[in-house]
Structure 1
Amino acid sequence: MEVSYKKLWKILIDKDMKKKDLQASAGISWASVTKLSKGERVSMEVLMKICKTLNCDIGDIVELIPTDENEIG
């Protein structure tokens, strides 16, 4: 499975927020923002902080994309 944060970036555009605004408001590290930008996995804690800041659900910011039906983990 791959992770897509395209929904998150769309919400930020709709709210006229920049990544640095999200980082400051949610109290997450720049390393986490960089991981999000690269489509890498971040901790549930980071996702929960973002959801609390944006007043949304995890499904509103993250999408799981199947890559191979035989893939494990």
Structure 2
Amino acid sequence: MVISYDKLWKLLIDKKMNKTDLKEQAAITYNILARLGKQQPVSMESLYKICKCLHCNIGDIMEFEID
């Protein structure tokens, strides 16, 4: 299984935000953004911060894809 954060990137576009905006508003690091960009796992705490910032649920920003 592969993690996909494609939903997150689409949501940012819909909200007219860029990755730097997300980093600042969700209080996450550049390393977390890099891991998201590489489709790598990140902590639940980071996902929680992103969901709280974007007012959404975890299923709105990520999904598992069967490879």
Give the TM interval when normalised to the shorter protein.
Answer: over 0.9
Question: Match for residue 70 of structure 1?
Answer: none
Long gaps (5+) in structure 1: 68-73
What letter matches 1:55 in structure 2?
A: H
**Distance in 2 separating the partners of 1:6 and 1:33:** 13
**Aligned match of 1:48:** 48
Structure 1 runs of 4+ aligned residues shifted over 2 Å read: none
C-alpha separation in 1, matches of 2:52 and 2:32: 16
What TM-score, normalized to structure 2? Answer: 0.97
Identify the residue that residue 64 of structure 2 maps to in structure 1: 64
In angstroms, what is the RMSD of aligned CA positions? 0.5
Partner of 2:33: 33
Separation in 2, partners of 1:49, 1:21:
13
CA separation in 1, counterparts of 2:17 and 2:29? 17
Code of the residue aligned with 1:4 in structure 2: it is S
Unaligned runs of 5+ in 2: none
Cross-structure match for 1:9: 9
Which has more helix, going by share of residues?
Answer: 2
- Number of residue pairs the alignment of both structures matches: 67
**So what's the TM-score if we normalise by structure 1?**
0.89
Letter matched to residue 64 of structure 1: F
